[in-house]
Structure 1
Amino acid sequence: MSAAQPRVLILPASYFARDRTVGGGERYALEYARALAELTPTTLALFDPTPARETLGRLTIETFPIRHFHQRRLFPLTRTGLRATAPFDLLHAMVFPTPATDLLICAAKMRGQKIVLTDVGGGGTCWSTYLRKLHRAFDLNRRAHGLALLSRHAARFFDDWPQPRTLLYGGVNLTEFTPATEPPRGYALFVGRLLPHKGVLELIHALGPDTPLHVVGRPYDDAYAKQLQRAASGKDVLFIFNADDAELRRQYAGANVVLQPSLPSFNPDDDKSELLGLVTLEAMACAKPVIVTQTASLPELVLDSETGYIVPPHHAETLRARVELFLQQPALTQSMGAAARRHIEQNFTWEKVARRGLEFYRSLPRQP
């Protein structure tokens, strides 16, 4: 295969085929792989005792055989499965460190395959985590040829890594997330996991009792979900815990403004909670203005006062004032929303992200 069209194997954040957790990292890997497959041969890797193969458009989704699901000491890929990873020119792992990435990196180094890493969050204990306690140079992940990172914020965690790097950012499927044909219905919208760092409790406290707020997300912590519901008592808050894709699009369509009010970590140097705000990108693709906090990657995605507003975290008065502005001025929602859609079309489509990735692959030398 030519260097112009490398055969790419992509490892997603959750890589066991059974009972997969499908969150933002998994969605990112799938959408990136689908877009990349339009440009160069691409396979998304999963693992299971029962091998399988399917296609999604031009993308191949291949389940490589493993002996079992226990990976405490060594990833249980069979010899057949390991041989099946040999024809690829490049391994792009979107989760590390893990036992699977350790094994595939070692195999790729022996074969002369290129290795690219993207941190979408996650990872776990493996040989690399033990070895880097001895010396950081022993971390197998540092043997990669390049780093393709989600944002400038994400890049901060790799300042001392020597490899070439690029910023991929993220994309939106513009045929799935489209501007609404009807006027907004007069509510603010939060979309995301219902966890403390997402700032939902602070958002509910910030808004007045008559400010309509829709909260769309899965409760991962029952105690926190009950705390949210208690805080919402007497306020105009609607919780939607089990929204499917169609319901999510309906909620985007009716909103005057979409909020991502995430809170910074107590230790900003170790804050990986918002490596990339996909909700912010999806909302702008739907021609909705957004309000985000000055937290992690979120300010990189928004043009302040053009496609929405960037507000300080823990600043209830400013957050409430910005929300009320959009609810009281639907024309502002329309004008900023149109600018937000243009911003996405120009910078954050999956095709553009995949092209950035492919150009980066082509630029990498064989040896890191």
Structure 2
Amino acid sequence: MKRIAFISEHASPLAALGGADAGGQNVYVGEVARQLSLKGYQIDIFTRREETALPRIVAFNDTIRIIHVDAGPAEDIPKETLLQYMPAFRDDMLYFIQTEQLSYELIHANFFMSALVAMELKSLLGIPFVVTFHALGHIRRIHQGDNDRFPKERIAIEERAVREASMIIAECPQDRDDLITYYHAPVDKISIIPCGVNTAEFYPIAKATARSLLGLPQHDCLLLQLGRMVPRKGVDNVIAALAKMHCERRKVRLLIVGGDADTTTELQRLQQLAAELDVKDRVLFAGQKSREELKYYYAAADLFITTPWYEPFGITPLEAMACGTPVIGSNVGGIKFSVAEGKTGALVPPQDADALAAKISSLLRSPATLEEMSANAIRRINKLFTWELVAQDIHTLYEKVTGNNTLYPDSFFSGQSIRL
């Protein structure tokens, strides 16, 4: 059995989603590991201990273990301040490897701090690594400016990781282009492998059934915004768009799912905005929900809306489409890759509430179009974006790096245009 190590310093598959630092990367790490384990891999996922009571080792399944690494205080710490603890992370991970007498064929680093640890373990132990950055410091700086609280060393670490990694996984064509433009990454070192969706977890449910289970009105138009409550996600843009819609025959409501104690300030800002724009009675803040509940929220909605300023990939549009819900998303990053304009939904400029309001109104007035988009969305997910397909491409990549596949075919996404 092939043994590999995942490093995901701040994003554990065990974490509850929807908080400030818990989102797509947590899902990615858990789902990719799960699918790779079905292909004969034995996987250890190294992630930072955030609670004293957590055991050192948690069995995720028969062939996947979560290893809690001691690095800094055993408490929830914003990821922007974790870089200082990476030497301790490296040392404790090295101690575990040596104590358990483990030998890994490969390390898969997730995020730039994990890549830093992977580079140092490569130097010490000779283990090759691949990296999925999930987000890039250069791009974050462009969009966040002075609000970017990551340390300035981030970009230098990413540049070094680009040079030292055996392969780099770009999650969409925009990610690949950014790696080439801003990091001078060699084209032949990049493989486009997207995120995916678990179709056993997210699948179509009759809208009336979903609304009944959630206690939502059957005859209103329902818009859904679901994800982390942080400013760059553009939830305020959706609230502003709702305020501009006054001519619909049916009442239009906005359901906002996500947020926890770590995002209280942002939630309060959004609630205040809804009150100021006089749409407080049409906006429902549902709070954080379990993974098991999310499919009902997706299925209950007429449209899923996600308009971040930028988005490295974005898993929530895939989850919505897997449930048969059309998506209106920002024409940025991974969203413009996953959402097929005019077929599974629509793309709009970010931070443009007028354009968003117009697109919502247009689609809500055409039930036939929404029905066709729903069917298209399900087909697109099953054709391109399941975790099984993602894991197959990653497996092929691993085979290339470890020398087990001399005739290496490019990722399905590397050399083809993507059509529905």
Q: Would you say 1:7 and 2:28 are equivalent positions?
A: no
What residue number does 2:60 align with? Answer: 56
1:62/1:196 CA distance change after superposition, 3 Å: closer
Match of 1:271 in 2: none
Alpha carbons of structure 1 residues 365 and 323: separation in structure 2 relative to 1, 3 Å: same
Q: Counterpart in 2 of 1:45?
A: 46
CA distance in 2, matches of 1:93, 1:13: 9
Q: 1:1-368 to 2 correspondence within 5 Å?
A: 6-14=2-10, 22-41=22-41, 42-46=43-47, 52-63=56-67, 66=70, 69=73, 71=85, 73-75=87-89, 76-77=91-92, 80-83=95-98, 84=100, 86-98=102-114, 101-121=115-135, 129=153, 132=156, 139=160, 142-159=163-180, 160-162=184-186, 164-183=189-208, 185=218, 186-207=221-242, 208=245, 210-218=251-259, 220-233=262-275, 234-235=278-279, 236-264=282-310, 274-364=311-401
Give the whole-Å Cα distance in 1 for the aligned partners of 2:381 and 2:12.
32
Residue aligned with 2:391, SS: helix
Distance, in Å, in 2 between the alignment partners of 1:339 and 1:28 is 24
Q: Which residue of 2 aligns with 1:269?
A: none
User: Residues 140 and 173 (structure 1 numbering): CA distance in 2 closer, same or farther, change over 3 Å?
Assistant: closer
Q: CA deviation at 1:228?
A: 1.9
Normalised TM-score (structure 1) = 0.82
Partner-residue secondary structure (3-state), 1:364? helix
CA drift of 1:332 comes to 2.7
Residue 51 to residue 257, structure 1, CA distance change in 2 (3 Å): closer
Contact 1:65–1:80 under 8 Å retained in 2: no
- My pick for the range that moved more, 55-64 or 244-253, is 55-64
Matched position secondary structure for 2:232: helix
Identical aligned residues as a percent: 25
Letter in 1 for 2:185: W
| Cα distance, 1:237 vs structure 2 | 1.3
In 2, Cα distance between equivalents of 1:230 and 1:51:
41
Q: Deviations over 1:195-246 (max 9, x none)?
A: 2221211221112254211111216544432332233233211111222234
Letter matched to residue 237 of structure 2: E
Following superposition, the deviation at residue 121 of structure 1 comes to: 3.5
Deviation at 1:171, TM superposition (A): 0.7
C-alpha displacement of 1:340: 0.2
Structure 1 vs Structure 2 CA RMSD: 3.2
Give, in angstroms, the shift of residue 106 of structure 1.
2.9
Q: How many Å separate the matches in 2 of 1:15 and 1:204?
A: 29
Provide the secondary structure at the position in 2 that maps to 1:263: coil
Task: Give yes or no for contact 2:255–2:283 (8 Å, CA) kept in 1.
Answer: yes
Question: Counterparts of 2:303 and 2:88 in 1: how far apart (Å)?
Answer: 48
Taking structure 2 as the reference length, the TM-score comes to 0.73
- Contact 1:199/1:261 (8 A) holds in 2: yes
- Greater mean alpha carbon deviation, residues 249-258 or residues 176-185: 176-185
Distance 1:254 1:348, change over 3 A: same
Name stretches of at least 5 consecutive residues in structure 2 with no aligned partner: 74-83, 138-149, 212-217, 404-420
Question: Which amino acid is 2:259 matched to?
Answer: R
